[in-house]
Amino acid sequence: MTFANKCNEIFDQTVKLYHVTDNVDAVFTNPFAEGTIESSLARKNWIDAVQWHLEDIIRDENIDPVEALALKRRIDHSNQDRTDLVEEIDAYFRECYASVAVLPDATLNTESPAWAIDRLSILSLKIWHMREQAERTDATPAHIAKCQAKLDVLLEQRDDLTTAINQLLDDIAEGRKFMKVYMQMKMYNDPETNPVLYGKK
């Protein structure tokens, strides 16, 4: 099985596991051994699944403002965890391909493998929830048809992205492309770089 196809399998499994409880406070029991890339991919998708539902909750127009602020801070923390994990996955790829002889005419990709895999993880959630809408029994035929059409597009997007990621990894393995990873350097969570935070000192 190619790497991106393995990602899809793990992501679909993790999304399904999240929806057993459908609870943003549920404890994640990782089915994969700690320290493996499979474990990292599953953790990544669990973070995405929880954040997806936090984003739903915070859009409730009747939400208590204090609760909304707490949720916003939780989402900020989740975004940082997501970014850290993407960088961890890219570190795995850098190690995998460290000994590859880069060809003289090798080119750079627009994004690292892990950031492309991040999009694959989000697609697994979009597909789950759009399928849920397309299978509703309490919705109008027009709603169901619209959601089915969107689901078809999402499935095509996943096929295309899966192919593109596998091609990128093949190109890196053969030296036709090379990895150059920039850390995200997010500033808003850092008390040294967010002026609202360091201004309070």
Does some domain include residue 198? no
Q: Is the pLDDT of residue 76 over 80?
A: yes
Position 194 in a domain: no
Query: How does residue 188 score in pLDDT terms, banded at 50, 70 and 90?
Result: low
Averaged over 74-86, what is the pLDDT? Answer: 94
Task: State yes or no: pLDDT of 190 exceeds 70.
Answer: no
Q: For residue 196, is it within any domain?
A: no
Residue 201 lies in a domain: no
Q: How many residues does the chain have?
A: 201
Examine the pLDDT at 194 and tell me if it is beyond 90: no
pTM of the entire predicted model: 0.89
Query: What is the C-alpha to C-alpha distance for residues 180 and 177, in angstroms, rounded to an integer?
Result: 10
Residue 154 lies in a domain: yes
- Secondary structure string (H, E, C) spanning the chain: CCHHHHHHHHHHHHHHHHHHHCCCCCCCCCCCCCCCHHHHHHHHHHHHHHHHHHHHHHCCCCCCHHHHHHHHHHHHHHHHHHHHHHHHHHHHHHHHCCCCCCCCCCEECCCCHHHHHHHHHHHHHHHHHHHHHHCCCCCCHHHHHHHHHHHHHHHHHHHHHHHHHHHHHHHHHCCCEECCCCCCCCCCCCCCCCHHHHCCC
Q: Write out the residue range of the structural domain in which residue 102 sits.
A: 3-187
Mean pLDDT score, 147-159: 98
Residue 4 pLDDT class (50, 70, 90 cuts): very high
pLDDT at 180: 78
Q: Is the pLDDT of residue 187 over 70?
A: no
The confidence score (pLDDT) of residue 88 equals 94
CA distances from 100 to 36, 88, 105, 180 (A): 22, 20, 14, 14
Give Cα separations from 92 to 85, 107, 190 (angstroms): 11, 20, 25
Region 153-160: mean pLDDT is 98
Residue 121 within a domain: yes
Q: At what angle do helices 37-58 and 65-96 cross, to 10 degrees?
A: 160
Write the pLDDT tens digit of every residue in 108-147.
999 999 999 999 999 999 999 999 999 999 999 999 999 9
Q: Could you give the number of structural domains in the chain?
A: 1
Confidence label for 1 from pLDDT (cuts 50, 70 and 90): confident
Q: Is residue 104 one of the residues assigned to a domain?
A: yes
130 located within any domain: yes
